[in-house]
């Protein structure tokens, strides 16, 4: 049998050899420009906007070539870092996993680099500073920001005899009921508003800002049960769903098109109002330029909160063990602080520019729909969700509870929320290392 073994060993070695040669050949040539791999979440039309900006950078920097890979999410970034395959620069659509990136050191701390480059934290708006650091480490920078508001279909509003966008939750409910039309068999024909947690951009963190509810106390313990905003939101959610009928809603929703396609339910008039991010302005411009719609801040439960909304944003950072840290930092610095780059990205993607300077840049092309979101971004009551060591699992657990509640699977709301609180605390502890401090 020794011959078989020899052949086997040879085959394996050959395979390894070929692969290894391929791997080293790619990095051997020193005179060629440094290749910087950049991972971003954008895809399709949005990706080409981003690539246009990196191409400009490419042109101005002959020593590097920027290689952009789109369609990336947090799961992929986390996996690549663990496996030692991370790109030189990584960008995520949201900040949920900042606690993981900073906490584990998966993304390097940028504090010293910011200092030596002379970039004070006041360069960026306060909210974005919060969601780009964790545990005393600044491991990410904001690359455009997102906030959320109400999109409403003006034609459908006119038909239903509604003058303007709702400003309070009570108005939202009343308008939604007016706008909802049923088929003769009782199924939904047009939906005024889809309240389902899990539908498109509907997540708990975006909703509770309308009730002004908080997440954590001063010692970072979860206080969902103690904040009346949480249970009030959920009770409203339930009563509105009950008015339509849970099963009818599920069925209707199953027939709606993908969020990020031209069949988006709001864009084709299947829902009259929708809770969505500022980027939708650009999607509508590209996919349904004739849609007669308006944008407004999200209706609120407490009138003084009107005009505020949930803020989050795309972040960018440098995964550890990268081979081109200096070049990577230069690119990150350019993308996150260069007013021209941010303005161009903002114009193409219709995302909120993420430095104080670029927010008022003259390069920004004005757009009435988009201006709403710039105002929400500047509102003092606008807020974001907590950054914890558990990363996205934290908000996922809350969302999980909310979907159970909306399906009628939670019998006692207040004890359910209290249990969720202790689960969330245990989860953070477990993620930080099995209860050992």
Partner 1 sequence: MTAAATTATFARRRLPAAVRRRRFLLAVANHAVLIGFAIAFLAPFLFIALTALMTNNQALSPDLWPHPFRWRNFVDVWTKAPLWRWMLNTLEYSVLGTLGVVVSSVPVAYALARLRWRGRQAMFLVVLVALMLPPQVTVVPLYVMWAKFHPFGFNFIGTLWPVILPNWFGDAFSIFLLRQFFLTIPEEYLDAARVDGCSELRILGTVVVRLAKPAIVAIALFSFLYTFNDFFLPLLYTGEAPHHWVLSIGLSQFRSLHQVQWNLTMAATLLVMVPVVVIFFLAQKAFVEGVTLTGVKG
Partner 2 sequence: MSPWLVGFSVFFAYPLVMSAYLSFNHYDLLSSPRWVGLANYRYLFTVDPQVWTTVKNTLWLIAVMVPLQVVFAYGIAMLLARAKSGVGVLRTIFYLPALAPPVAATLGFVFILNPATGPVNTILAHLGIQGPLWFQDPAWSKPSLTLLGLWGVGNTMVIFLAAVLDVPRHLYESAELDGAGPLQRLRWVTLPTTSPVILFAVILGVIQGLQYFTQAYVAAGVASGQASQAGDVTAGTLGYPLDSTLVYPVLLFQHGFTDFQMGYASAMAMLLLAVSFGVISIILINSRRWVHYGGAAR
The residues pairing with 35 across neighbouring beta strands, listed in sequence order, are 65
Q: Is 263 in the site for partner 1 (CB under 8 A)?
A: yes
Contact map string, positions 70 to 89, toward partner 1, x by CB under 8 A: -xx--xxx-xx-xxxx----
172 binds, among partner 2, partner 1, none (CB under 5 to 8 A by kind): none
Q: How far is the CB of 323 from partner 1 (least distance, A)?
A: 11
Is 161 a residue that touches partner 2 (CB under 8 A)? no
Cα 164 vs. chain centroid, distance in angstroms?
28
User: What does the alpha-carbon distance between residue 48 and residue 348 come to, in Å, rounded to a whole number?
Assistant: 9
The answer to whether residue 368 forms part of the interface with partner 2 (CB under 8 A) is: no
Any contact of residue 217 with partner 1 (CB under 8 A)? Answer: no
Query: Which residues between 19 and 78 bind partner 1 (CB under 8 A)?
Result: 19-20, 23-24, 43-44, 69, 71-72, 75-77
DSSP 197-246: TTSTT--HHHHHGGGT---B-TTS-B-TTT-HHHHHHHHHHHHHHHHH-H
| Separation CA 69–CA 343 (nearest Å) | 22
Residue 258 touches partner 2, criterion: CB under 8 A:
yes
Q: What is the DSSP string of 78-147?
A: HHHHHHT---SEEEESSSTTHHHHHHTTSB---HHHHHHTT--GGGS-HHHHHTTEETTEE--EEEEEEE
Q: Which stretch binds partner 1 (CB under 8 A): 12-20, 214-222, 398-406, 426-434?
A: 12-20
Provide the mask over 40-69, with x wherever binding to partner 2 is found by CB under 8 A and - wherever it is not. -x-x--------------------------
At 154 the three-state DSSP class reads helix
SS (H, E, C) 260-283: CCCCCCCCCCCEEEEEEECCHHHH
Which position among 3, 5, 30, 380 is part of the footprint of partner 2 (CB under 8 A)? 5
Which residue, 320, 313, 317, 391, is CA-closest to 99? 391
Stretch that binds partner 2, among 1-9, 28-36, 205-213, 322-330 (CB under 8 A): 1-9
Query: Looking only at residues 198 through 257 of this chain, which bind partner 2 when binding is defined by CB under 8 A?
Result: 198-200, 247, 250-256
Of 271, 310, 307, nearest to 291 (Cα)? 271
Structure tokens at 45: 């039309």
Place of tokens 């809603």: 249
406 close to 210: Cβ distance less than 8 angstroms: no
We find the least distance from the C-beta atom of residue 80 to partner 1, in angstroms, to be 5
Site for partner 2 in 88-117 (CB under 8 A): 93-94, 104-106
**CB nearer to partner 2: pick between 76 and 167:** 76
Instruction: Name residues whose C-beta falls within 8 Å of residue 273's C-beta, 6 or more positions apart in sequence.
Output: 150, 151, 152, 153, 165, 166, 172, 175, 176, 179, 192, 193, 266
Q: Nearer to partner 1 by C-beta: 58 or 287? A: 287
Tell me which of partner 1, partner 2, none is bound by residue 217, counting a contact when its beta carbon lies within the kind-specific cut-off of 5 to 8 angstroms.
Answer: none
Do the beta carbons of residue 280 and residue 151 sit within 8 Å?
A: yes
CB closer to partner 2 out of 200 and 334: 200
For residues 371-410, which are near partner 2 according to CB under 8 A? Answer: 390-393, 396-397, 399-400, 403-404, 407, 409
Q: Could you give the dihedral angle defined by the CA atoms of residues 249, 184, 261 and 287, in that order, rounded to the nearest 10 degrees?
A: -130
Residue 282's nearest CA partner among 375, 201, 350, 369 is: 350
302 or 403: CB nearest partner 2: 403
Judged by CB under 8 A, the chain residues 310 through 339 that form the site for partner 2 are: none
Give the binding site for partner 1 (CB under 8 A): 1, 3-4, 7-8, 11-12, 15-16, 19-20, 23-24, 43-44, 69, 71-72, 75-77, 79-80, 82-85, 255-258, 260-263
Residues engaged in binding partner 2 (CB under 8 A): 1, 4-5, 8, 41, 43, 71-76, 78-79, 81-83, 93-94, 104-106, 198-200, 247, 250-256, 258-260, 390-393, 396-397, 399-400, 403-404, 407, 409, 423, 426, 430-431, 433-436
């Amino acid at each position: 049998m020794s011959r078989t073994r020899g052949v086997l060993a040879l085959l394996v070695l050959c395979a390894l050899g070929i692969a290894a040669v391929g791997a080293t050949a790619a990095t051997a040539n020193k005179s060629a420009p440094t290749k910087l791999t950049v991972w971003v979440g954008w895809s399709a039309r949005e990706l080409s906007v981003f690539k246009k900006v990196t191409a400009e950078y490419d042109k101005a920097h002959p020593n590097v070539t920027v290689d952009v890979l789109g369609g990336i999410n947090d799961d992929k970034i986390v996996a690549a870092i663990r496996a030692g395959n991370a790109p030189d620069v990584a960008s995520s659509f949201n900040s949920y996993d900042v606690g993981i990136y900073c906490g584990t050191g998966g993304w390097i701390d940028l504090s010293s680099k910011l200092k030596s480059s002379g970039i004070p934290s006041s360069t960026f708006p306060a909210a974005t500073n919060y969601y780009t650091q964790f545990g005393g480490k600044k491991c990410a920078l904001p690359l455009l920001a997102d906030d959320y508001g109400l999109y409403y279909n003006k034609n459908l509003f006119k038909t239903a005899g509604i003058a303007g966008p709702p400003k309070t939750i009570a108005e939202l409910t009343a308008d939604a009921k007016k706008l909802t039309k049923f088929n003769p068999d009782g199924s939904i024909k047009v939906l005024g508003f889809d309240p389902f947690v899990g539908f498109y951009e509907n997540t708990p963190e975006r909703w509770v800002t309308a009730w002004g509810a908080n997440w954590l106390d001063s010692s970072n313990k979860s206080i969902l049960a103690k904040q009346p905003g949480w249970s009030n939101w959920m009770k409203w959610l339930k009563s509105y769903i009950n008015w339509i009928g849970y099963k009818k809603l599920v069925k209707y929703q199953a027939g709606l098109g993908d969020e990020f396609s031209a069949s988006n339910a709001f864009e084709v008039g299947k829902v009259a109002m929708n809770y969505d991010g500022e980027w939708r302005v650009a999607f509508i411009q590209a996919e349904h330029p004739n849609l007669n719609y308006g944008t407004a801040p999200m209706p609120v439960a407490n009138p003084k909160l009107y005009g505020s909304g949930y803020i989050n944003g795309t972040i960018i950072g440098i995964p550890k063990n990268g081979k081109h840290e200096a070049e990577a930092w230069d690119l990150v610095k350019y993308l996150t602080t260069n007013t021209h780059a941010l303005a161009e990205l903002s114009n193409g993607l219709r995302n909120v520019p993420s430095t104080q300077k670029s927010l008022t840049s003259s390069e920004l092309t004005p757009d009435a729909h988009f201006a709403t979101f710039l105002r929400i971004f500047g509102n003092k009551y606008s807020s974001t969700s907590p950054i914890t060591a558990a990363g996205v699992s934290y908000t996922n657990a809350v969302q999980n509870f909310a979907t159970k509640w909306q399906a009628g699977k939670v019998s006692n709301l207040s004890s359910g929320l209290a249990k969720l609180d202790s689960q969330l605390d245990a989860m953070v502890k477990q993620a930080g290392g099995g209860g050992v401090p």
